[in-house]
Amino acid sequence: MSLYTDKVMDHFENPRNVGVIENADGIGEVGNPQCGDIMRMYLKIENDVLVDVKFKTFGCGSAIATSSMATELIKGKTIDEALELTNKAVVEALDGLPARKIHCSVLAEDAIKAAFVDYFTKTGREMPECLVGFEPHEDEH
Ligand code: FES
């Protein structure tokens, strides 16, 4: 049996929302120093709604699958709803990931949070409490 669920394979082979948003309202880039994978998230926000989300991942298959699923889960949602997204929810939506690949989903959550930090900083809006002092995780492999 494959280590990876059908959903992981599907999002790896056909990732959704890959690309760059020109004039994005928020851009977040995070990397995992252990594996060297890098993820960049772009948010387009209108009236507090994420009208578009795109990502670029220079990383492993699980990083691609989790960023793809994460963008699907927050696209069309309000800022508040999107901020509630956890890597756990992304993993559940993919029907699971092998334990040693969980850190890849953390990269996806952190990239979204970093993009929101950029958005709130650029717009001068008050930073939501959950983002104050945000630092991307530095997970062990
Ligand atoms: Fe590092 Fe997947 S192996 S993000």
Model pLDDT for residues 101-133, shown as the tens digit of each residue = 999 999 999 999 999 999 999 999 999 999 999
Residue 93 Cβ inside 6 Å of ligand 1? The answer reads no
54 Cβ partners below 8 Å, 6+ apart? Answer: 17, 18, 19, 20, 21, 24, 41, 42, 71
Q: pLDDT at residue 53 above 80?
A: yes
Catalytic residue of the set 53, 65, 94, 104: 104
Q: pLDDT at residue 88 above 90?
A: yes
Instruction: Determine the distance from the C-alpha atom of residue 109 to the mean position of all C-alpha atoms in its chain, rounded to a whole number.
Output: 4
User: How far is the centre of ligand 1, averaged over its atoms, from the C-alpha of 63 (Å)?
Assistant: 6
